[in-house]
């Protein structure tokens, strides 16, 4: 296999005296769907925040390699917007849409880092800016078609249903042209029907050439969707492997269900 597009080595994050992440290693290859699971408070979202530059990790390296150019970048100290520009975009666990903007505008914001016009372009609207704007609108519309929101483009984001808001978050992240998409609990609060559609959507996103790293509590979704699974507990990686391997892993079952379930002696 070629080089991983995301390579995390020994990532450590402390909050005061609490170690939220403890020497975590993780890698994602192009074309993969990788899941990150673990009980509540295991440090999954903290891990995402470290990856996207919102937290500064205490130790460890994060390397991002563009699958197209092969250019490798060390993420240490980069601002969140720079990291997004490199090709890694995320969604949020607690939905963070621009609620008083329309659905289309939300996605157009995602195009921001791929477009250039500033004050001059805004005021004088040279041809280049007009073309750029039209391109932004058209691409955003196509992405909304992909996630099934093309019927509600002019609706305010606030007025969408919960499931639709989650899909809009994905659309907004896709608009930044990421080669790696980070999804933080995309199925949270969705009904089975919506979850099934989401599984379908994530597969299509993968088929379009975006690798996906997702945090999820819905085990059925994780098991059906992901190629590989990483399991976190108290900031440490306790297991990694294919869904089938994880399903029978003793440490994982213990972390999720407690010690008594397994009739084993643990030191």
Partner 1 sequence: MAVPVPERFKRAAMVTMISIKDVKRSLLVSLWFVFLSFPIMVIQVNPVERTVVWRWSNMLYMGIASLLLSFLVRIWLLRQERRLAQKQLSSSPQPSILHLLLKQQKFRYPLIIGGSVIVLAFPLIFSSYQANIMTTALMYIVLGLGLNIVVGLAGLLDLGYVAFYAVGAYSYALFNLHFDLGFWPALPLGGLLAALFGVLLGFPVLRLRGDYLAIVTLGFGEIIRLILENWNAFSKGPSGISNIPRPGFFGVEMSLDQAMTFMYYLMLVLLAGTIFVVNRLQDSRLGRAWVALREDETACQAMGIDKAQTKLIAFALGAFWAGLIGVIFAAKTTFVNPASFTFMESAIILSIVVLGGMGSITGIIFGALILILLPEYLRPLSEYRMLAFGAILVAMMIFKPEGLIAGSRRVYRFQAQKIQPMLKNNE
Q: Which residues bind partner 1 (CB under 8 A)?
A: 52, 54, 79-81, 84-85, 89-90, 92, 96-102, 104-105, 108-110, 112-115, 117-119, 121-123, 125, 129, 132-134, 136-138, 141, 153-156, 159, 172-173, 176
Residue 122 DSSP SS3: helix
- State in angstroms the smallest separation of the CB of 245 from partner 1: 32
Residue 229, phi-psi category: left (phi > 0), alpha (psi -120 to 50), beta (remainder) = beta
- State in angstroms the smallest separation of the CB of 32 from partner 1: 22
Nearer to partner 1, 79 or 220 (CB): 79
- State in angstroms the smallest separation of the CB of 144 from partner 1: 10
- State in angstroms the smallest separation of the CB of 137 from partner 1: 5
Token pair listed for 112: 């921001």
Token pair listed for 210: 């975006």
Nearer to partner 1, 90 or 228 (CB): 90
Environment class of 217 (CB within 10 Å of its CB; exposed 0-12, middle 13-18, buried 19+)? middle
The DSSP secondary structure of 23-88, one letter per residue, reads EEEEEE-TT-EEEEE-STTSSHHHHHHHHTTSS--SEEEEEEE-TTT--EEE-TT--HHHHHHHTE
Residue 237 DSSP SS3: strand
Nearer to partner 1, 123 or 266 (CB): 123
How many whole angstroms separate alpha carbon 9 and alpha carbon 125?
46
- State in angstroms the smallest separation of the CB of 92 from partner 1: 7
- State in angstroms the smallest separation of the CB of 234 from partner 1: 26
Nearer to partner 1, 65 or 84 (CB): 84
* Count of alpha carbons within 13 angstroms of residue 225, beta-carbon side: 32
Nearer to partner 1, 134 or 224 (CB): 134
Nearer to partner 1, 176 or 240 (CB): 176
């Amino acid at each position: 296999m070629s080089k991983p597009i995301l390579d995390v080595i020994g990532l450590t994050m402390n909050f005061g005296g609490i170690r939220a992440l403890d020497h975590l290693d993780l890698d994602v290859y192009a074309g993969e769907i990788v899941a990150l699971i673990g009980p509540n408070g295991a440090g999954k979202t903290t891990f995402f925040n470290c990856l996207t530059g919102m937290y500064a990790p205490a130790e460890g390296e994060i390397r991002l390699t563009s699958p197209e150019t092969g250019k490798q970048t060390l993420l240490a100290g980069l601002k969140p917007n720079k990291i997004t520009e490199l090709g890694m975009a995320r969604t949020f666990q607690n939905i963070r849409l621009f609620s008083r903007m329309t659905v289309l505008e939300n996605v157009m914001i995602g195009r921001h880092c791929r477009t250039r016009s500033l004050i001059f372009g805004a005021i004088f609207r040279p041809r280049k800016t007009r073309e750029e704007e039209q391109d932004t609108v058209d691409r955003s519309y196509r992405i909304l078609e992909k996630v099934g929101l093309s019927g509600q483009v002019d609706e305010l984001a606030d007025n969408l249903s919960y499931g639709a808001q989650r899909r809009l978050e994905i659309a907004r992240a896709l608009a930044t042209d990421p080669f790696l998409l980070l999804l933080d609990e995309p199925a949270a609060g969705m009904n089975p029907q919506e979850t099934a559609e989401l599984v379908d959507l994530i597969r299509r996103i993968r088929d379009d050439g975006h690798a996906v790293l997702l945090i999820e509590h819905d085990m059925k979704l994780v098991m059906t969707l992901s190629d590989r699974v990483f399991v976190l507990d108290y900031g440490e990686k306790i297991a990694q492997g294919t869904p089938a391997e994880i399903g029978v892993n003793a440490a994982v079952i213990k972390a999720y269900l407690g010690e008594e379930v397994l009739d084993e002696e643990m030191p």
